[in-house]
Amino acid sequence: MKTKATQATNQAFDVVVIGAGPAGLACAVRCAQLGLSTACIDNWRDKKGNSSLGGAYLNAGCVATLALLESARIYHTLKHDIQMHGIHAEGIALDLPQMIKRKDDIIEALQRNAADLFAHHQIQRFFGKAKLLSEGLIEFSPAEKAPGSIITARHIVLATGSAPFQLPCAAIDNKVIFDSVAALNIDSLPKRLAIIGAGVIGLELAGIWNRLGVKTTLLEAQDTFLNLPDQQISREAYRIYNEQGLDMRLGARVIAARKSRHGVTVDYQTNEGRQSLHVDKLIVATGRKPNSEDLATAEANLLLDENGYVHVDENCRTTLPGVYAIGDLTLLGPMLAHKGMEEGVFVAEQIAGLHNPINFDRLPSVIFTDPEIAWVGQTEQALRAVGEPIKIGTYYLCDTAKAQTTGKTEGLVKIIIHAETDTILGVHIIGTHAAELIAEAVLAMEFSASSEDLVRTIHAHPTLSEALHDAALKVKDGIK
C-alpha cells in the first residue's frame, strides 16, 4: 500500500538502470551506444547536496582513496625520502583541508565527465530512490515524503551497489567513530588512529594515515593476514607495512568502542584476553553490504539471499524476467568496480541480442596500498590444495635496474604455471605500479599464454615490466 501520491509519467524506455555507480554507468552508456532508449535513476548527492553520478566508487571510494594516498605518499617522500637524492626541503607542512579539497576537485571533474557522457549518449537522468514495483514498472521519488513518479521499461538493470557494514559495537557518529566513507573527509590530523578490519579498505585507509605520520593501529579479528591474495605476497605485504610503522594486531576482535571527551577506547578480545586501546579517532572498515533494502516491493517478489544479495544466474539475470542485477549487489564475483563495469557492458549487450561472456577467471584484483598489490588467476595455496602440478618463478623488483633508479625496490613478481602445459595459472605482484603491471599478465592469460611466450616477448629495458619477463625466465630455468 502506497502512502504518498504517485504519478505514472507515461515515460517508457527500452532500459532503465537503477544506480549510476561504475556498473550502472557502464551499462547505461553501452545500452545507449547500442541504440536502446535508456534512462538511469540515481539518488547520490555530493557534499554540496547536488545529484551526482559515479556512486560510491567515485564519490566515496576508490577515486577518493587513490587521490589521498597520492598526497600522503608525496608528503612522506618530502619528509623522509628525498635527502638521499641530494635534495633538502625545509618547512614541509601538511594542509589537510587542502588535501581533501584536491580530492574533492578530482571527484567533481570526474562527475562532470560522467554527466557529459550521459548527455552525449542522450541517457535520460532521473534523481531519486527507485523501487521495483513489478517487472517493467519502477517508482522513484526525489525525497522520502515527496510524490513518486512511475516509469516503465522493457528491461531493468539493478545496480545499486553496496554500503559500509555497520558494526553494532562501534556506533558511527562520523565525529570520533567513522565509517569508511566519512573517513575520506577527516580534515584534522589525529595523533592516534585505530581502524577495525585489516581488509582491503582498512589497509588502504591505514596506508594514507600512516604516511601522514599518524600512529595507526589496525585491529583484525582473523589470526591470519590478508587471506585473499597469494600467501607469499601477503607475508611480504605484512613485512613491508610493518617496516613502515603500521601496527597490525591480528586475532583482535573488537567488542566495544567507548567514546569519551578525549577520543575513544576500543576494547578487543585476543587469545590472551580482553585488551584496550585508546585513540583519538576510530574507523570501522569491516566490510560492505549490498544496497538491496527497499529496492523492490514484496509483490515484485525479487529473490534475495539472507545477506541481502540479489540472486542472479551466470548471465546476471534475476529471478524476474527482464530484470538484471550487476556489481556489488550480487555474489557473482568480488566487489570490484571493474567487475561491475564488465557486467554492465555484458548485460547491455545481452539486451541488444549480443552475447560476449565475461571470463571471471581473468579478473584482476588490486589493493591500492603503497606499495600496491595486484593479482590475477589462482594462488599457490589454492592450486596446491587441489593437487595441481605447478611450477613457480619469482623475481624481486630490487633486482631490476628501474627499481634501483627510482628507489622503489620493495616487492616481487610471482608467476605460477601448470607444470605439464606451461600455461600461466596465476600472477601475483607486490610493488610500486603493481596495478599497472598486472595488465600484461591479464592479457597474457586471456590469450592462454605460456611462460615461454612471456620469455619470448621483448620487454623494454630498464622497466619494471622486466620483472614479469624474468619471473617467467625463472620458471623456464627451474630457478625459484
> What is the distance between the alpha carbons of residues 43 and 131, in angstroms, rounded to a whole number?
12
> What is the distance between the alpha carbons of residues 457 and 424, in angstroms, rounded to a whole number?
14
Applying CB under 6 A, does 335 fall inside the site for ligand NAD? Answer: yes
Closest to ligand NAD by CB, 65 or 149: 65
Query: And the C-alpha cell for 208?
Result: 594514507
Closest to ligand NAD by CB, 334 or 407: 334
Query: And the C-alpha cell for 111?
Result: 562527475
* Strand order, beta sheet including 192-196: 177-179, 281-284, 192-196, 215-219, 247-249
Applying CB under 6 A, does 221 fall inside the site for ligand NAD? Answer: yes
Applying CB under 6 A, does 357 fall inside the site for ligand NAD? Answer: no
CB 225, CB 238: distance < 8 Å: yes
Applying CB under 6 A, does 208 fall inside the site for ligand NAD? Answer: no
**Can you tell me which of 27, 201, 417, 467 binds ligand NAD, judged by CB under 6 A?**
201
HSE, CB side, 13 Å, CA atoms: give it for residue 366: 23
Closest to ligand NAD by CB, 286 or 292: 286
Q: Which amino acid is at 151?
A: I
> What is the distance between the alpha carbons of residues 369 and 379, in angstroms, rounded to a whole number?
20
Query: And the C-alpha cell for 54?
Result: 559515479
Q: Name residues contacting ligand NAD, limited to 141-180 (CB under 6 A).
A: 167
- The catalytic residue positions are 461
Applying CB under 6 A, does 69 fall inside the site for ligand NAD? Answer: no
Applying CB under 6 A, does 114 fall inside the site for ligand NAD? Answer: no
Pick the piece of the chain touching ligand NAD (CB under 6 A) from 16-24, 215-223, 318-326, 418-426: 215-223
**Can you tell me which of 23, 107, 158, 200 binds ligand NAD, judged by CB under 6 A?**
200
Pick the piece of the chain touching ligand NAD (CB under 6 A) from 69-77, 140-148, 186-194, 218-226: 218-226
Applying CB under 6 A, does 222 fall inside the site for ligand NAD? Answer: yes
Closest to ligand NAD by CB, 96 or 169: 169
Q: Phi/psi of residue 373, each to 5°? A: -120, 135
Applying CB under 6 A, does 199 fall inside the site for ligand NAD? Answer: yes
Applying CB under 6 A, does 254 fall inside the site for ligand NAD? Answer: yes
Q: Which amino acid is at 48?
A: K
Applying CB under 6 A, does 193 fall inside the site for ligand NAD? Answer: no
Q: Which amino acid is at 241?
A: Y
Strands 38-42 and 6-18: what pairing?
parallel
Task: Note the maximum CA span of the chain.
Answer: 73
168 CB-near residues (< 8 Å, 6+ apart): none
Applying CB under 6 A, does 433 fall inside the site for ligand NAD? Answer: no
Does 334 sit behind a cis peptide bond, omega within 30 degrees of 0 on the bond before it? no
Applying CB under 6 A, does 285 fall inside the site for ligand NAD? Answer: yes
392 CB-near residues (< 8 Å, 6+ apart): 380, 414, 415, 416, 417, 475, 480
Applying CB under 6 A, does 375 fall inside the site for ligand NAD? Answer: no
DSSP letter (8 states) at residue 38: E
Applying CB under 6 A, does 362 fall inside the site for ligand NAD? Answer: no
Within 10 A of 465 (CB to CB), how many other CB atoms are there? 20
Supply the minimum distance, in Å, between the C-beta of residue 218 and ligand NAD: 9
Applying CB under 6 A, does 331 fall inside the site for ligand NAD? Answer: no
Pick the piece of the chain touching ligand NAD (CB under 6 A) from 45-53, 220-228, 390-398, 464-472: 220-228
**Can you tell me which of 32, 193, 366, 425 binds ligand NAD, judged by CB under 6 A?**
366
The footprint of ligand NAD (CB under 6 A) covers: 62, 167, 196-202, 219-222, 253-254, 285-288, 334-336, 366-368
